């Protein structure tokens, strides 16, 4: 067993490794991955493994390997305002990252078979909203989760711009999945041991692209042994935001623009780049390998610098040792939540300030 990229010491280093291996290729996806700490979705006793490029499963709780999620996020080609359906939404980790890109006017729905996992996902979502500074850096499309079998979605449900299925789809269910898409929409799912991207180009026209060799546990078939009847899954209705909520979004957006303008005025032509702190250098070997991860298998396609360059790197390392020692002694200042500070400084009643901050703890 092994990951497609080296383990990171923290969430940022994990993302650095995914970028270096070309699993993360776009800025939007990178920002979303950095904003949501993967370790927050682990049980406390398993957090030591959070930054390894490995899948994790405990009971019904499951997280795919980071390189799988990054390939999925890239393939979905997410944009603000789109509608997204996550089949097998699990812990909500992927749905939360998607929500940061969709923004306040998107739709973010998830279907999960196990009710205990739904409760776990809601707890993790609540923790993210209340404690993460990333929540104030983005406009968030909050996920809504429903319990049920994703193969029993009500036929009168709305279609979606983007759909992801996190379990192996049998060939006989391919058309069922396709029909969940709007024209122009994108479906990403494991199909016939390949992570597959399907784009609906017309009412009956499709483009299919195989992305990566994978092997997921198959979708669980509906069980009607008890009643003999199908238990239809009704997805959340697409609700219109209240005027009060729209006002909050507009005020927060205006404050963010003011903060950016103040920063640009203070720093001259633009925001100055923050000081960079060197990370531990990790050597990797060129590898083409198959990775087995508890019912989830994927093929590495990484091509990294070969060990032939080690001698020249050693000279570089010696020259950098002194610099790294100096920079390691410097610690970056804790990030400042400028939006929160700006809201709290406004001459407004406290209840209104707390409303603008979504009653967050941090």
Active site residues: 64
Strands (E), the chain: 56-58, 61-63, 83-87, 107-112, 144-147, 160-165, 181-191, 194-202, 205-215, 290-293, 296-299
User: Could you tell me which residues come within 8 angstroms of residue 182 by beta carbon, excluding any fewer than 6 positions away?
Assistant: 83, 159, 160, 161, 200
Nearest to 110 by CA among 136, 130, 83: 83
Q: Report whether 287 contacts 302 (CB < 8 A).
A: yes
Question: What Rg do the C-alpha atoms of the chain give, in angstroms?
Answer: 22
- The position carrying tokens 């960079």 is 276
Instruction: Give the containing element (helix H, strand E) for 142.
Output: none
- SS3 of residue 215 by DSSP: strand
Give me the phi and psi of 279, to 5 degrees please.
Answer: -100, 160
Distances (CA, A) of 90 to 58, 167, 293, 358, 359: 12, 11, 17, 25, 26
User: Could you tell me which residues come within 8 angstroms of residue 137 by beta carbon, excluding any fewer than 6 positions away?
Assistant: 35, 339
In sequence order, the β-bridge partners of residue 168 are 218
Q: Give the separation between CA 334 and CA 357, rounded to whole angstroms.
A: 20
């Amino acid at each position: 067993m092994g990951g497609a990229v080296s383990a990171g010491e923290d969430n940022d280093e994990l993302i650095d490794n995914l970028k270096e291996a070309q699993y993360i290729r776009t800025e939007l996806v990178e920002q979303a991955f950095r904003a949501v700490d993967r370790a927050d979705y682990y049980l406390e006793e398993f957090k030591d493994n959070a930054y390894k490029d490995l899948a994790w499963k405990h009971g019904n709780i499951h997280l795919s390997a980071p390189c799988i999620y990054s390939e999925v996020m890239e393939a979905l080609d997410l944009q603000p305002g789109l509608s997204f359906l996550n089949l097998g939404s699990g812990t909500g980790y992927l749905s939360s990252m998607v929500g940061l890109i969709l923004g306040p006017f998107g739709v973010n729905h998830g279907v999960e078979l196990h009710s205990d996992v739904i409760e776990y996902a809601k707890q993790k979502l609540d923790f993210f909203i209340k404690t993460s500074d990333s929540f104030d850096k983005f406009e968030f499309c909050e996920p809504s989760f429903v319990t049920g079998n994703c193969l029993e979605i009500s036929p009168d449900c709305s279609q979606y711009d983007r759909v992801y299925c996190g379990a192996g789809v049998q060939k006989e269910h391919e058309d069922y999945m396709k029909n969940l898409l709007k024209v122009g929409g994108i479906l990403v799912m494991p199909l016939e041991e390949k992570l597959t991207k399907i784009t609906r180009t017309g009412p009956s026209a499709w483009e299919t692209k195989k992305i990566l060799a994978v092997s997921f546990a198959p979708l669980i078939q509906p069980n009607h042994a008890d009643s003999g009847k199908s238990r239809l899954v009704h997805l959340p209705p697409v609700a219109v935001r209240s005027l009060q909520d729209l006002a909050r979004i507009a005020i927060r957006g205006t404050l963010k623009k003011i903060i950016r303008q103040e920063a640009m005025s203070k720093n001259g032509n633009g925001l100055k780049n923050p000081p960079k702190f060197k990370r531990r250098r990790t050597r990797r070997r060129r590898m083409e390998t198959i990775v087995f991860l508890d019912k989830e298998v994927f093929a590495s396609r990484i091509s990294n610098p070969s060990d032939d360059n080690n001698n020249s790197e050693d000279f570089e390392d010696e020259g950098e040792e002194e610099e790294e020692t100096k920079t390691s002694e410097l610690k970056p200042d804790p990030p400042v939540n400028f939006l929160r500070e700006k809201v709290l400084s406004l001459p407004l009643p406290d209840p209104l300030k707390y409303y603008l901050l979504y009653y967050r703890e941090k």
